[in-house]
């Protein structure tokens, strides 16, 4: 053996150029380690799905004629750390070179770089061949600017990759953005698409994970795990999404409903983030649906923007601002998470649903993450680092490079407005407009103070009053602060008093 090649749990692309040829001198190494199960408390499904998908890839590679060493969580020789296992395996195989694909998390990148530099054998890092952009490209686009506008980056990406660009070089349909056609509440029609994802029984693997002592939270769904676990399954699911669901994606992108945990969202983030699918092929499939006339432009543009725009953009933010970005706390928030983040047991019906389905399915769609859970966390002044750890643990698709900018930046405004031009917060009115959560809730969406008042209302005004020093000069918040000005006096005092009392008893909401 000459070369050992490491594959991390989110590097599950069987079409990487590494696998183009078989080579007896190359051993591929995959490992299930406590280092990776324990850096944050993870949702049970996240651990189970990643291990199951790693095992699937190992099987696939062996069948394709590659040499594979799979270190299972309960192997006696498992040292439970990536460097310790690598050192032992390099010696075992007498290998001269270790190769790995660039990790997407700063934590792992740093660990492998530091450790690699101390070794006597050659250590080489190569591309994972996944993203449109390099790690540092976006920092170059925005060099010297205070604010890094997504829209600016996104238009460049559309042009550069010729996505939804017409023959004259203009954006398809004449507009870059179709948000005003999207963002509708869902009235119960059109009918929800069927959930055609595969169903896996991984109860034996789950028993192994538990016997190894790995801690987790949330429902493992071990008998009926619904996530695609290899490229073939991911491609079939992508196909299903494009043909049945994409046409309605745009219109109901921001809608929320007690009747569906996904509405018309794609559930593709796990397959994308583990690299079973490449973003290019997902974008191409969506674009082709528009050209074939099977999906309208606003839906396709809205979907493409999430992947070609947001996904690459947050990655650029992450690499430009790590280390340290994950610890930012521009508003000085420090309240611990209420217990019901771990149980879903709150009387706020929106939170009950959004947190509840997160625990049950390791999934919530974007607007639930942003405008229900994140909104509440920001209004209530929860510690952004604790909020970040919760998001990093709970979602099936959560890996730091994408989770941190979304949580710390977009959702908690803890980067002081680098990523978002204003805080994403709202009172009950927005949640009520976009969902069916408020009807039947213990709290009254219309009341601002009193025992039955929806907590979002008083917390909303208190948030702006309390942060006037930092946010008062933000030109996008002019209207809010003018309104606040008019409320000065007994009205605002009562709101702030109620908010203060809510903030001392978050656990009991
Ligand atoms: P769809 O709505 O169908 O979107 C299609 C794809 O676009 C997604 O699969 C995803 O790859 C991409 N995408 C959409 N929005 C974003 C975004 N804001 N940033 C990056 N990519 C995006 N996404 C993650 O992949 N991992 C995370 O850990 C994560 N944490 C988040 C935390 C918070 C507080 C918020 C507000 C958002 C977070 N997101 C995260 C972004 C987004 O909510 C998820 O990508 C999306 O809900 C995944 O579900 P889906 O595949 O059904 O997405």
Interface confidence (ipTM) of the complex: 0.99
Confidence band (pLDDT; 50, 70, 90) for 181? Answer: confident
pLDDT at 1 over 80: no
Helix or strand holding residue 16 (H, E): none
Q: What is the mean pLDDT of residues 185-214?
A: 97
Q: For residue 94, what pLDDT is reported?
A: 96
10 near 57, Cβ under 8 Å?
A: no
Distance 267 CA to ligand 1 centre (A): 9
- In the predicted model, what is the mean pLDDT of residues 472-497? 96
Q: Among 105, 253, 282, 306, name the best residue to mutate to test ligand 1's pocket (greatest count of ligand atoms within 8 A of Cβ).
A: 306
User: CA nearest 112: which of 101, 96, 120?
Assistant: 101
Give residue-wise pLDDT tens across range 358-393: 999 999 999 999 999 999 999 999 999 999 999 999
Ligand 1: which of 366, 384, 398, 424 to mutate, most ligand atoms within 8 Å of CB? 366
Amino acid 138: pLDDT: 87
Q: Say how far apart CA 220 and CA 234 lie, in whole Å.
A: 20
Question: Which ligand 1 atom minimizes the distance to the CA of 269?
Answer: 9
Identify the sign of the CA torsion 431, 433, 439, 444: positive
Q: What is the mean pLDDT of residues 479-502?
A: 97
Output the CA 59–ligand 1 centroid distance in Å: 29
pLDDT at 311 over 90: yes
Q: Whose C-alpha lies nearest to ligand 1, atom 9?
A: 269
Q: Average pLDDT, stretch 229-236?
A: 98
- Residues in contact with ligand 1 by the CB-under-6-Å rule are 265-269, 272-273, 306-307, 310-311, 314, 365-366, 369-370, 374, 391, 395, 397-398, 402-403, 406-407, 410-411
Please state the atom number of ligand 1 nearest to the C-alpha of residue 241. 3
Closest Cα to residue 260, out of 44, 432, 435, 442? 435
SS3 89: helix
d(CA 171, CA 92): 56
Provide the pLDDT for residue 146.
78
Distance CA(26)–CA(95), nearest Å, equals 9
pLDDT in tens, 54-64: 999 999 999 99
What is the whole-number distance in angstroms between the Cα of residue 268 and the centre of ligand 1? Answer: 9
Per-residue pLDDT, averaged over 23-33, amounts to: 98
DSSP 8-state secondary structure symbol assigned to residue 103 = P
- Whether 145 has a pLDDT exceeding 90, the answer reads no
Q: What are phi and psi of 255, to 5 degrees?
A: -80, 155
Neighbours of 22 (CB within 10 A): 11
Report the distance separating Cα 411 and Cα 434, nearest Å: 18
For residues 333 and 327, is the Cβ–Cβ distance under 8 A?
A: no
Mean of all residue pLDDT scores within the chain: 97
Chain centre distance of CA 180 = 24
For residue 434, give both structure tokens: 């976009």
Closest atom of ligand 1 to 410 CA is: 36
Going by alpha carbons, the residue nearest to atom 30 of ligand 1 is 403
Q: Among candidates 424, 217, 222, 447, which has minimal Cα distance to 340?
A: 217
- 31 has pLDDT over 80: yes
pLDDT at 344: 97
| Short-list 257, 248, 265, CA closest to 181 | 248
Q: How confident is the model at residue 182 (pLDDT cuts 50, 70, 90)?
A: confident
Å from CA of 408 to ligand 1 middle: 14
**Closest ligand 1 atom, residue 370 Cα:** 36
Are the CB atoms for 178 and 297 separated by under 8 Å? yes
Q: Which of 262, 282, 290 is nearest to 130 (CA)?
A: 282
Name the percent of the chain lying above pLDDT 70.
Answer: 100
CA 366 to ligand 1 center in whole angstroms: 6
CA–CA distance, 252 with 261 (Å, rounded to integer): 13
Mean pLDDT of 39-51: 98
Tell me the three state secondary structure of residue 165: strand
Average confidence (pLDDT) over 185-204: 96
Q: Sort 6 into a burial class: Cβ within 10 Å, 0-12 / 13-18 / 19+.
A: buried
DSSP assignment string, 317-376: HHHHHTTTGGG--TT---BPPPGGGTT---S-HHHHHHHHHHHHHS---HHIIIIIIIHH
By most ligand atoms within 8 Å of CB, the mutation choice from 45, 281, 397 for ligand 1 is 397
Mean pLDDT, residues 188-201 taken together = 96
> Tens of pLDDT along 400-411?
999 999 999 999
3-state secondary structure 19-62: HHCCCCCEEEEEECCHHHHHCCCEEHHHHHHHHHHHHHHHHHHH
Q: Give me the phi and psi of 3, to 5 degrees please.
A: -130, 135
Q: Which is more confidently placed, 145 or 452?
A: 452
pLDDT of residue 275: 98
**Mutational test site, ligand 1, from 278, 386, 406, max ligand atoms within 8 Å of CB:** 406
What local confidence, expressed as pLDDT, does residue 139 receive? 86
CB 273 within 8 Å of CB 10: yes
Cα 242 to ligand 1 centroid, rounded to whole Å: 17
pLDDT band at 151 (very low <50, low <70, confident <90, very high): very high
What DSSP string runs through 244-265?
HTHHHHTTTTT--BTTBSSTT-
**Nearest one of 421, 391, 417, 420 to 404, comparing CA atoms:** 391
C-alpha 25/C-alpha 40 separation (Å) is 36
Where is pLDDT greater, at 13 or 182? Answer: 13
pLDDT for the residue numbered 141: 84
- State the average pLDDT over residues 454-462: 98
Question: 276: which DSSP letter?
Answer: S
Residue ranges of domains in the chain, CATH in brackets: 3-126 (3.40.50.620), 146-193+245-321 (1.25.40.80), 339-508 (1.10.579.10)
CA distances from 368 to 65, 256, 353, 411, 500 (A): 44, 7, 9, 11, 25
Phi, psi (degrees; rounded to nearest 5) at 374: -65, -40
Q: Looking at the DSSP assignment, which residues form a beta bridge with residue 67?
A: 27
Judge whether residue 292 has pLDDT over 80. Answer: yes
């Amino acid at each position: 053996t000459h070369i050992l090649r490491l594959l991390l749990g989110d590097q599950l692309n069987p079409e990487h150029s590494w696998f183009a040829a078989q080579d007896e001198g190359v051993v591929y190494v995959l490992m299930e380690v406590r280092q990776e199960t324990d850096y944050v408390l993870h949702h049970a499904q996240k651990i189970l799905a990643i291990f199951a998908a790693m095992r699937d890839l190992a099987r696939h590679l062996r069948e394709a004629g590659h040499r594979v060493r799979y270190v299972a969580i309960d192997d006696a020789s498992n040292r439970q750390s990536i460097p310790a296992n690598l050192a032992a395996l390099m010696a075992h195989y007498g290998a001269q070179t270790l190769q790995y694909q660039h990790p997407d998390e700063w934590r792992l990148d740093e660990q492998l770089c530091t450790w690699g530099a101390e070794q006597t054998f050659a250590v080489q890092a190569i591309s994972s061949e996944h993203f449109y952009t390099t790690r540092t490209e976006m920092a170059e686009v925005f060099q010297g600017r205070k604010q890094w506008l997504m829209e600016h980056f996104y238009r460049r990406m559309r042009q550069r990759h010729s996505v939804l660009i017409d023959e004259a070089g203009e954006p398809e349909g004449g507009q870059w953005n179709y948000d005003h056609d999207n963002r509708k509440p869902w009235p119960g029609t059109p009918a929800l698409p069927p959930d055609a994802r595969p169903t896996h029984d991984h109860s034996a693997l789950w028993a192994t994970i538990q016997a190894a002592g790995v801690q987790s939270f949330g429902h493992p769904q071990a008998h009926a795990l619904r996530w695609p676990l290899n490229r073939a399954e991911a491609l079939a699911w992508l196909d299903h999404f494009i043909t049945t669901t994409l046409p309605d994606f745009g219109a109901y992108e921001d809608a929320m409903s007690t009747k569906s945990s996904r509405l018309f969202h794609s559930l593709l983030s796990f397959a994308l983030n583990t690299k079973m699918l490449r973003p290019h092929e997902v974008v191409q499939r969506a674009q082709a649906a528009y050209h074939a006339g099977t999906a309208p432009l606003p839906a396709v543009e809205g979907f493409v923007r999430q992947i070609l725009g947001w996904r690459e953009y947050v990655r650029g933010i992450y690499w430009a601002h790590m280390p340290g970005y994950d610890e930012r706390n521009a508003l000085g928030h420090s309240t611990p998470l209420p217990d019901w983040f771990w149980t879903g047991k709150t009387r706020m019906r929106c939170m009950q649903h959004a947190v509840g389905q997160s625990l049950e399915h390791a999934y919530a769609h974007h607007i639930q993450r942003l405008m229900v859970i994140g909104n509440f966390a920001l209004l209530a002044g929860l510690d952004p680092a604790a909020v970040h750890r919760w998001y990093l643990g709970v979602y099936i698709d959560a890996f730091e490079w994408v989770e941190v900018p979304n949580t710390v930046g977009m959702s908690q405004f803890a980067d002081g407005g680098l990523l978002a031009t204003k805080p994403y917060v709202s009172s009950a009115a927005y949640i009520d407009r976009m969902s069916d959560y408020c009807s039947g809730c213990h709290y009254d969406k219309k009341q601002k103070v009193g025992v039955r008042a929806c907590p979002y209302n008083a917390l909303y005004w208190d948030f702006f009053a309390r942060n006037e020093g930092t946010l008062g000069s933000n030109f996008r918040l002019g209207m809010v602060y003018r309104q606040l000005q008019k409320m000065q006096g007994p009205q605002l005092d009562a709101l702030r008093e109620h908010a203060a009392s809510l903030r001392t008893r978050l656990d009991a909401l």
